[in-house]
Structure formats: structure tokens, C-alpha cells
Amino acid sequence: MSLLPIFTQPKTPEWRGNTSSQDMNTNFSEILYDLNSIFAEASKVVTSLNELESRIRHEVEAISTRVYAVSGVISSYEQSASGYKMFFEDFYLPEDVVYPTNIVEQDRCVVNDEFGVVTLPVNSSFSKVYTINVNDGKAITAPDLKVEITPIDEEGTVKVEGTSETRAFDGSDNTVWERKVRFNRDSTKSEVRSLLTVNLPSMSNPYVNKIHVKPYPEGSEDITNITYDTTVSQDIVLSSFPVEGENNSPTKMYSFNNILPTKIKFYLKQRSSRIEDDYKTFTYGAKEFGIEKVEYRNTGKVGIRFKLPSYEIGLLGTLTSLRTDPDYDNNIYKVGLYSSEAEFNADIPIWTSSNSPITPTNPLDLSVYGLEDLWVMVQMNQPVGDSKTPLLKNVSITYTTFTT
């Protein structure tokens, strides 16, 4: 809507002429139109600001809760493991990720810092719920997408407010589906639950092998289950979804072998509440639900360069453990260690996952190399017959140092 006024030049009577009722009506009609336009635009701005304020407040509260929890974990770790030295890469901040110079782009594993995982290289990917406009690059939600919200446990509510559920299926984190379930201020209600059912559009390629969830507020909402229906079966539990569910779920990606769903169902729960507008209010929803079909290459590599921290005195002595999550098996996950960038680029390792595991009782002595840095290569392989990707979450190494 344009805010350029249409009432710019009032219609006035000619000199010493009579006032025209038609001109007066036109003047007031244009003024009324401009006022309505201003109020409508102001209302949209206020609504957007209220949504933004709510989103920021809930996100900050969720982050504060997670920081507090992490601080407690770090404190406990420091007390129980004084003097413990560790390299750790979790791929949320992949500053130390490197690739050998001779690996082409197509063979590089994809580091997805949004989900904190590494996947196989991607050949192609497309969403099952929206398409991308080739002219402006914006997402267009499928016109035959149907999303339904069904309360499971919201008894006793005073009122329910929220934005459209389709906001969580438009490819943008900036448009949030938010559901506010309000109770009397003194209510003893401790949680609310609902079911979000997605009726998938019909497409020429009906397969799905990837789902991601970006909860809102992130880190304070539970995903108790994800199931799907097919043309012959109902409520099949997603194979890669954990049996215990996802409590206080962060942004999550689930990769699985091809399925042919007609519906996908997300079971959501919120246990956190706050007083808003004098109501006990439970807020939950999502920034985005991604439902995709992805074609992966069957192998790929990712490297990490670990550097001794500036506060360390000396050089690397021994490695007392090396772990990956999931654990390396020299099949789906193969690991190699390198003592220099040149050997890393030439793929000349000093240890591989085909050797005996590195443990406190079987350490790897690096003192002969005089190292301040250490290079790690992880090769990921897709099992024969699979359409999903392995998901590498982190690599950790414990070590000792020595001084010359």
C-alpha cells in the first residue's frame, strides 16, 4: 500500500462562485481514503513490531536458559577434569575446517553450521512444500499445501492466539509461526501439547529423505515425536527420530532413507510459561519445518586443523584419545591424522582408523614430530543401497604437551 496521498490539491470554488457539494464530497472522500490508508499502514507496522518484540523476547529468554545450563556443565567439567587438555570441533563454528588442495568442490563434504553437522556432498535438493521463484529468488509456498494444528492438551485455556501455521513452511526464518496458549494467571497448568499435521502437495518426485525443524523459541520446546502416513499405513515413527524425543530441542536435522509420505505429523510440547498481559502464557511454534528430497554423492571428505592454544607452553606430546560422533568405524566414517599441511594435502597420514584406537592405555606419541598443529581428515561414505547421509556431529582429541 502506498502512503502517497491522493488529496493533494483541494477542489475550491471559482472566484466569487458558489461552493459545489460535489467538490466538497470529493475533498472529504479523498481525505477519508488517505486517513484509512495511514491507519491501515500504521496497524500493519504495529502488528509487525508486536510480533518482532515477542519473537526477540522469547528467543532471548531461550538463549539465556541455554547459556545458564551450559555454564553449569562447564563448571562441573572444570571441577571434575582439572588439567584436561582437549581439541574439539562441533561444526557450529567451523573456523578450523579445511580441505586438501587437490580435492574438487564436488568431493567436499558439506559443513552445515546451522545444524552443526557435516553431510555428504549434495548433488541436488528440492523442497516438498515450496518452490523458488527464478526471477527474484523468493520462496513460493505450494498452493495445495495444507497444515492443521490440533490441540492435544490445552484444556482450561482462556484464549489461544497465534500466527498462520504456513509461516513455518515458506523457506524463511524471518516469518515465525507462533502459538500462544493463555490461562488464568493462577493456573496450575504445567505444559501444553499439540499436533501439527502437514498434508503434502502432490509432486512428480514423491520421495522424502530429509526433515529439519527450527523450533520457536529454540531450546525451550519439546518435540515428542515425528510420524508420517503413507497411502497404506498411518503414524509410522520417523526412523531417525530418537525414541526418547527431543527435550528443549535446538535446531535439528533428520536424514533417513527414502519414504513416500502423504502426511507428516509433528508432536509438540511446551513446558515453559511466563506471565504476559496478566495471563499465564505458553508460547511455542516454529521458524521453519523443512521437508526435502536430497540426492547425495556416495562419498566425501572434510578436514580440521587443530592448533595448540596460545596459552599452552610447549608442543604436542601424546594423544590420549580420539573420538568422533558418531564413533568412527573405518567404514562409514574413516579418520586420518597428519603431522603437517603438506602431508595432509598429499594424504600421507601418521595414523588412520584402520590402526588400533587411540586410548589412555594406547596413546599415540607425537613428541618426535615437534608439532604445534595437527590435521585430521574424516572421509564419510554412504552405505550401498542408502539414500540418506551420515551426519558427523563433532571430533574430539585429548592430548598432553611437553617442553623442550
Q: What is the pLDDT of residues 54-93, one digit of tens each?
A: 556 556 555 555 554 454 445 444 444 445 688 999 998 8
Q: Is 39 helix (H, G, I), strand (E, B) or coil?
A: helix
138 & 282 share domain: yes
263/136 same-domain check: yes
Residues 94-109: pLDDT tens digits? Answer: 889 999 999 999 999 9
Tens digit of pLDDT at every position of the chain (404 positions): 455 666 566 655 555 455 566 666 776 777 777 677 776 676 666 555 555 555 565 565 555 555 544 544 454 444 444 456 889 999 988 889 999 999 999 999 999 999 999 999 999 999 999 888 777 778 888 888 999 999 999 999 999 999 999 999 998 888 899 999 999 999 999 999 999 999 999 877 899 999 999 999 888 899 999 999 999 999 999 999 999 999 999 899 999 999 999 999 999 999 999 999 999 999 999 999 999 999 999 999 999 999 998 888 889 999 999 999 999 999 999 999 999 999 999 999 999 999 999 999 999 999 999 999 999 999 999 999 999 999 999 999 999 998 87
Query: Is residue 21 in a domain?
Result: yes
User: Which bin fits 278, alpha (ψ -120 to 50), beta or left (φ > 0)?
Assistant: left
pLDDT digits (tens, 9 = 90+) for 240-289: 999 999 999 989 999 999 999 999 999 999 999 999 999 999 999 999 99
What is the rounded CA–CA span in Å between residue 182 and residue 186?
11
Residues with Cβ within 8 Å of residue 8, at least 6 apart in sequence? none
Same domain, 99 and 230: no
Residue 92 Cα distances to 38, 66, 128, 149, 251, angstroms = 44, 15, 26, 32, 11
Tell me whether residue 115 is in a domain: no
Asked, for residue 44, whether it belongs to a domain, the answer is: yes
Tell whether 187 and 268 lie within a shared domain: yes
Q: What is the pLDDT, as a whole number, of residue 189?
A: 96
Looking at the structure, do residues 290 and 145 belong to the same domain, yes or no? Answer: yes
Instruction: Among 270, 296, 322, identify where a domain stops.
Output: 296
DSSP 185: T
Q: Are residues 333 and 350 in the same domain?
A: yes
| Whether residue 217 has a cis bond before it, omega within 30° of 0 | yes
| Closest CA relative to residue 292, chosen from 226, 196, 207 | 207
pLDDT for residue 36: 72
Domain hosting residue 60, numbered range: 1-79
Do 319 and 288 fall within a single domain?
Answer: no
pLDDT at 39: 67
Residues in the chain: 404
Classify residue 94: in a domain, yes or no: yes
Closest CA to 233 of 262, 205, 211: 262
**pLDDT in the model for residue 177:** 94
The answer to whether the Cα torsion of 275, 276, 279, 283 is positive or negative is: negative
73 and 131: one domain? no
Residues 53, 160, single domain; the answer is no
Measure CA 270 to chain center. Answer: 18
Domains contained in the chain, number: 3
Give the CATH number for residue 153.
2.60.120.260
| Cβ atoms within 10 Å, residue 175 | 17
The amino acid at 149: I
Residue 256's CB is within 10 A of a number of other CB atoms, namely 17
pLDDT confidence of residue 255: 98
Which residue do the cell numbers 584406537 mark? 357
Q: Which of 263, 296, 329 is the last residue of a domain?
A: 296
* 324 assigned to some structural domain: yes
**Boundary residue ending a domain (265, 296, 327):** 296
- 43 and 159 belong to one structural domain: no
DSSP letter (8 states) at residue 154: -
CATH number at residue 380: 2.60.120
Q: What is the pLDDT of residue 69?
A: 47
Same-domain status, 102 and 139: no
Domain membership of residue 244 (yes or no) is: yes
Q: Is residue 116 part of a domain?
A: no
Beta-carbon contacts of 122 under 8 Å, excluding residues fewer than 6 positions away, are: 110, 294, 295, 296, 297
At residue 232, the pLDDT reads: 95
Q: Quote the CA–CA distance of 371 and 316 in Å, as a whole number.
A: 6
Collapse the DSSP code of 118 into the 3-class scheme (helix H, G, I; strand E, B; otherwise coil) and give the result.
strand
The amino acid present at 190, given as its one-letter code, is S
Please give the pLDDT value at position 115: 93
According to the model, what pLDDT value does residue 78 have? 44
pLDDT of residue 313: 84
Residue 335 located in a structural domain: yes
Q: Are residues 344 and 100 in contact, defined by beta-carbon separation less than 8 angstroms?
A: yes
Q: Hey, how many other C-beta atoms are within 10 angstroms of the C-beta on 163?
A: 17
| 218 in the same domain as 97 | no
